[in-house]
Homo-oligomer: A and B are copies of this chain.
Amino acid sequence: MLYLIGLGLADETDVTVKGLELIKKVERVYIEAYTSILLVDTEKLEAYYGRPIIIADREMVESSSDEILAGADTSDIAFLVVGDPFGATTHTDLILRARELKIPVQSVHNASIMSAIGATGLQLYSFGQTLSMVFFTETWKPASFYDRLKENHQIGLHTLVLLDIKVKEQSLANLARGRKIYEPPRFMTVAQCASQMMEIEAEKCEGICGTKTLAIGVARIGARDQKIAAGTLEQLSDTDLGAPLHSLVILGRRTHYLERDFVREYAIDKAIFDAVWSEFYEGKQ
Contacts and interface: CB of A to CB of B under 8 A. Distances in A.
Contacts of A40: none
A155 B159 CA distance: 14
Q: Indicate the size class of the contact surface on chain A.
A: 35 or more
A157 to B, nearest CB: 6
Interface in A3-43: 6, 8-9, 11-18, 20-21
A84 B89 CA distance: 22
The interface centre, meaning the residue of A108, A115, A123, A127 with most chain B CB atoms within 10 A of its CB, is A115
7 contacts: A13-B17, A92-B259, A92-B262, A95-B262, A125-B129, A125-B130, A125-B131
A99 B14 contact: no
Contacts of A124: 86-87, 112, 114, 130
Interface in A108-137: 108-112, 114-116, 118-119, 121, 123-132
Contacts of A114: 114-115, 124
The interface centre, meaning the residue of A11, A16, A125, A162 with most chain B CB atoms within 10 A of its CB, is A16
Contact of A86 (B89, B95, B115, B157): B115
A206 interface: no
Contacts of A126: 129
A121 B96 CA distance: 10
A107 interface: yes
Contacts of A129: 125-128, 155, 157
B258 A96 contact: yes
A17 B20 contact: yes
A279 interface: no
